[in-house]
Homo-oligomer: A and B are copies of this chain.
Amino acid sequence: MASTVVNPGLEGIVVGETVLSNVEGEAGRLTYRGYDIHDLAENASFEEVAHLLLFGQLPAHQELIDFNARLAARRALPSGLLAIMHAIPRDAWPMDVLRTGVSAVAHFVPHRPDGAHETSVDTAIDLIAKFPTIVAAWDRIRRGLEPIAPDPKLATAANFLYMRTGELPIPEAEKALDTYLVLLADHSYNASTFSARVTASTGADIYSAITSAVATLAGDLHGGAPSKVMTMLEEIGLPEKAEPYVRDLLDRHEKIMGMGHREYKIRDPRAQQLERMAKNLTEKSHTKWYLIARALEDASDKVLQEKKPGKRIYANVEFYTAPTLSSLGIPSDEFTCMFACGRIAGWSAHVLEQFAHNRLIRPQATYVGPEVHPYEPIAGRHAQTNGTANGHSAGTVSP
């Protein structure tokens, strides 16, 4: 039987166990299967990290060659999927198109997933390979250009940049995007990962679970933040304008996008790595975004300390995503898609973990609506005075 204690947002409620990643908020530490995110960001490629998450170990030399070959073989999109994408209006939002595209990948496999572990692993690899191809293809289709096929010699990050422009990226750009994908690859039970596990827990297949995850990542409280950070950097325009901008925001009691995190009590360890990337890249590409972002983080901390002495605020992973991806030429409405291209590694591993130890995720709700009452035939009903749809018009709910 359900207890009567309501746990809004499930904050602090432990729903399951995982071996995949660990967020230690007080220490500001993030690890994937025991590896510190700083070690991985500085040393490992996205493909090595995806292998670590899926298979439990960083790959040995030959394993990495084999894994890269499996990914390369699955990157191209079926022509039918491209036909679907060509039928989508060009003003469609890239995250909506990724959601439709991922859902549609399922139509082009010869058999529905049979639930066998090896089939799920194969599907995971298929999706890790195809996510960046879908995003790059839509980037071109919406600009009226033909998509560029992936190059089997290139890894994930380089391929994405190549498929957007047709040009091989400079090493700094490839490295920056690769590190970004590593940093975003997993983060315990965040909302999109949880959503993938809820879907998987009903026995739905991995395509369904990943479609849910993409749908959930789209929200502004989750993967939608970096493009809002970019809007802010564009509004600020010059580093010296950051401080007055922050004062104005805080005077109006508004939030500074990309600052603070429910989990981390000190600075998000991913922010440090991304800041390094953003700095290198913007110097290379002669853009000002890093300088504005850095000035904004400093100003936010300074102004907040004036207003609430002792209270510190730090950039989270979304914050330096904006100058990094923007310097790579990626438009801000595709930022969340790039987040998905990294997180698909973690989502897949979480879905495999859910399948291996499955239990239907089905919480309870407390009913706070009207008491049972007799049926009213239509002749005796009265029209609503306001005529407004309201989830709560016939009952009360405490927020």
A107 touches B89 (CB 8 A): yes
Q: How far is the CA of A44 from the CA of B374 in the complex (A)?
A: 13
A57 sits at the interface (CB 8 A): yes
- Residues on B with beta carbons closer than 8 Å to the beta carbon of A364: 10, 12-15, 188-189
A216 touches B188 (CB 8 A): no
Q: Which of A316-375 contact B (CB under 8 A)?
A: 349-350, 352-353, 355-357, 359-375
B209 touches A39 (CB 8 A): no
A104 sits at the interface (CB 8 A): yes
- Residues on B with beta carbons closer than 8 Å to the beta carbon of A203: 219-222, 224
Q: Tell which of B34, B40, B88 touches A373, judged by Cβ atoms closer than 8 Å.
A: B34
A222 touches B202 (CB 8 A): yes
Q: How far is the CA of A33 from the CA of B376 in the complex (A)?
A: 13
B383 touches A19 (CB 8 A): no
A108 touches B84 (CB 8 A): no
- Residues on B with beta carbons closer than 8 Å to the beta carbon of A6: 14-17
Q: How many residues of A contact B (CB 8 A)?
A: 142
A377 sits at the interface (CB 8 A): yes
Q: Mark A186-204, 1 if CB is under 8 A from B, else 0.
A: 0011111011001111111
Q: Tell which of B8, B218, B353, B394 touches A33, judged by Cβ atoms closer than 8 Å.
A: B394
B18 touches A369 (CB 8 A): yes
- Residues on B with beta carbons closer than 8 Å to the beta carbon of A399: 357
Task: Select the residue from A22, A97, A208, A353 with max chain B CB neighbours within 10 A.
Answer: A208
Q: Tell which of B14, B100, B208, B388 touches A365, judged by Cβ atoms closer than 8 Å.
A: B14
- Residues on B with beta carbons closer than 8 Å to the beta carbon of A44: 375
- Residues on B with beta carbons closer than 8 Å to the beta carbon of A118: 388-389
Q: Which of A52-87 contact B (CB under 8 A)?
A: 54-64, 80, 83-84, 87
Q: How far is the CA of A96 from the CA of B21 in the complex (A)?
A: 31
Q: How far is the CA of A72 from the CA of B343 in the complex (A)?
A: 40
A2-B14 contact in complex given A204-B215, A394-B56, C-beta closer than 8 Å: yes
A212 sits at the interface (CB 8 A): yes
A359 touches B8 (CB 8 A): yes
A99 sits at the interface (CB 8 A): yes
A19 touches B389 (CB 8 A): no
A170 sits at the interface (CB 8 A): no
- Residues on B with beta carbons closer than 8 Å to the beta carbon of A360: 9, 191, 221-222, 262
Q: Which of A86-106 contact B (CB under 8 A)?
A: 87-89, 92-93, 96-97, 99-100, 103-104, 106
A202-B189 contact in complex given A57-B394, A87-B80, A362-B194, C-beta closer than 8 Å: no
A81 shortest CB reach to chain B, Å:
8
B194 touches A357 (CB 8 A): no
Q: How far is the CA of A396 from the CA of B199 in the complex (A)?
A: 23
A107 touches B80 (CB 8 A): no
A366 touches B84 (CB 8 A): no
Q: Tell which of B9, B36, B201 touches A9, judged by Cβ atoms closer than 8 Å.
A: B201
Q: How far is the CA of A2 from the CA of B14 in the complex (A)?
A: 7
- Residues on B with beta carbons closer than 8 Å to the beta carbon of A394: 19, 33-34, 56-57
B55 touches A384 (CB 8 A): yes
B191 touches A17 (CB 8 A): no
A131 shortest CB reach to chain B, Å:
15
A366-B16 contact in complex given A9-B201, A201-B191, C-beta closer than 8 Å: yes
- Residues on B with beta carbons closer than 8 Å to the beta carbon of A352: 389-391
Query: Can you spell out 11 A-B residue pairs with CB atoms less than 8 angstroms apart?
Result: A20-B391, A56-B384, A60-B383, A84-B87, A89-B107, A96-B112, A100-B100, A121-B389, A194-B198, A194-B363, A222-B360
6 closest residue pairs by CB, A with B: A202-B219, A19-B395, A56-B393, A19-B369, A353-B391, A34-B370
